[in-house]
Amino acid sequence: MTVCLTGLRIWDGDEYVDADALTIDGGRIGAIGDAAELAQNAQTIHCAGATLIPGLMDAHVHLELNPEHSAAPTGTSDDAYERMAERALGMVRAGITTARDLGGGAWHELRLRDDIARGARVGPRLICAGQPITCVGGHCHFWGGEAATLTEAKAVLHRQLDHDVDLIKVMATGGRMTRGSDPRKPQFSTDTLREIVATAHAHQRPVAAHCHGTPGIEAAALAGVDTIEHCSWVGEAGWASDYQAPIAELILERGIWVSPTVNRGWQRMLDSATGTVLGRVRSAYRKMLDLGIPFVASTDAGIPGVFHADLPHALVVFARIAELSNASALRCATSDAARALGIEGKTGRLRPGLAADLLLLDGDPLTDLAAVTRPVGVWARGRPVILPN
């Protein structure tokens, strides 16, 4: 049966529209318009002036990781799938209707993806990378994607394809969570990264590259990856100390999205009395954004202290650090995110025919971005998760 939401303020992913009602029909948005017309012959839910926006997207999560653990895992636990399903439910209840999972060890996230898609579980639409390709002993090697040569890297890639992943993840630099791994240093040559990207693209799979150090960022950009995760510009003096304009221009030229993985814990930088790192990070972000490099909202949920349902809170922090307008921050988590993830034909905006991924808010997020932390209604592909009182 058609459901009609009435009494709405509607932000469609681009702007506010002159309409006060939206219909949900068969999991999709049916129409947007005047309640007096659309409510006829429909089940009506009055929303009392709340703001309806597209569901939020987190472009970088790890459902397998437990954020309450401070150390890297040694393997995949026996109860991993159930714990991941619980995290997914918490995410969608927070208004996150799409998430890109960028690494796990046993493909449980792919099983969960498919279970959610067929309605057996409740959670966000999942886009999954499987086991990341890394060097021997490299960042996240514990997930089973180690490769010492290009031939071995391609074998890891094809193993992911055999499990029907949605994209390929490659660790272009080291990371902080893996003992013995150096975030500043590249893990693969540019030529190896080029071959990985070419192979993935030949199989219609985009590539996300984990990049902290500047040499790794440059190698990933030269290789033509689709998204650069973190893009931390790490140099000898620390985080964001080695921003290089020619490399940023290369990122722009290649049409690569930056996924900065800002979590709510970054509030500590805003609260700090000494803002050295904040100043460097903010400067790098502003230079990239002013250049025209597109950003997508992401949190790296699952790493220590970064909880899976926290994107709405992280979005507020991200906007302040990057000095984004509320509308720009929202687009990074909705319409722009859909473009970055290649799903703009499915979701990301409130348009007839797109999936009914909907977030109903108590307040106006364009004047108070923290309204995204106060969901009063959530629908995922038309399925009600939270209904307004």
Per residue in 97-134, pLDDT tens?
A: 999 999 999 999 999 999 999 999 999 999 999 999 99
Q: How far is CA 172 from the centre of its chain?
A: 19
Is the CA virtual torsion 313, 318, 323, 325 positive or negative?
A: negative
- Give residue 72's pLDDT: 79
Other beta carbons within 10 angstroms of residue 237's beta carbon come to 10
Within 10 A of 259 (CB to CB), how many other CB atoms are there? 31
CATH number for the domain formed by residue range(s) 56-340: 3.20.20.140
How far apart, in whole angstroms, are the C-alpha atoms of residue 124 and residue 130?
Answer: 17
Average pLDDT estimate for 348-373: 98
Q: Write out the two tokens for 93.
A: 């209840």
Question: Are residues 67 and 307 in contact, defined by beta-carbon separation less than 8 angstroms?
Answer: yes
Which residues belong to CATH 3.20.20.140 in the chain?
56-340
Terminal C-alpha separation, the chain:
20
Please write the tens of the pLDDT for every residue from 147-182.
999 999 999 999 999 999 999 999 999 998 888 899
Residues 29-82: tens digit of each pLDDT: 999 999 999 999 999 999 999 999 999 999 999 999 999 998 878 777 778 999
Residue 204: CB atoms within 10 Å: 8
- How does pLDDT run across 198-218, given as a tens digit for each residue? 999 999 999 999 999 999 999
Q: Cα separation of 7 and 125, whole Å?
A: 27
> What share of the chain in percent tops pLDDT 90?
94
State the pLDDT at residue 273.
65
CA–CA distances in Å: residue 205 to residues 84, 134, 159, 286, 345: 24, 18, 13, 30, 17
Is the CB of residue 341 less than 8 Å from the CB of residue 57? yes
Asked whether residue 300 carries a pLDDT value surpassing 80, the answer given is: yes
Give the integer Cα–Cα distance in Å for 316 and 193.
Answer: 34
d(C-alpha 81, C-alpha 99), whole Å: 16
Residue pair 160/105 in contact (Cβ under 8 Å)? The answer is: no
Contact between 358 and 52 under an 8 Å Cβ cutoff? The reply is yes
Rounded distance between C-alpha atoms, residue 176 and residue 161, angstroms = 27
- Of 2.30.40.10, 2.40.37.10, 2.40.30.10, 3.40.630.10, which CATH number belongs to 3-54+348-386? 2.30.40.10
SS3 38: helix
Q: pTM for the complete prediction?
A: 0.97
- What was the pLDDT predicted at 389? 86
Number of helical H runs and strand E runs in the chain: 12, 16
Q: pLDDT band at 224, cuts 50/70/90?
A: very high
Q: What pLDDT band is residue 286 in, cutting at 50, 70 and 90?
A: very high
**pLDDT of 388:** 95
Angstrom distances, CA of residue 297 to CA of 27, 57, 95, 203, 371 = 25, 7, 14, 26, 17
What average pLDDT is seen over the chain? 97
More confident residue, 75 or 146: 146
Intervals of CATH 2.30.40.10 along the chain: 3-54+348-386
Specify the amino acid at residue 346: K
| Helical (H) or strand (E) element with 361 | strand 358-361
Average pLDDT over residues 231-243: 97
* 3-state SS class at 20: coil
What average pLDDT does this structure show over 309-318? 98
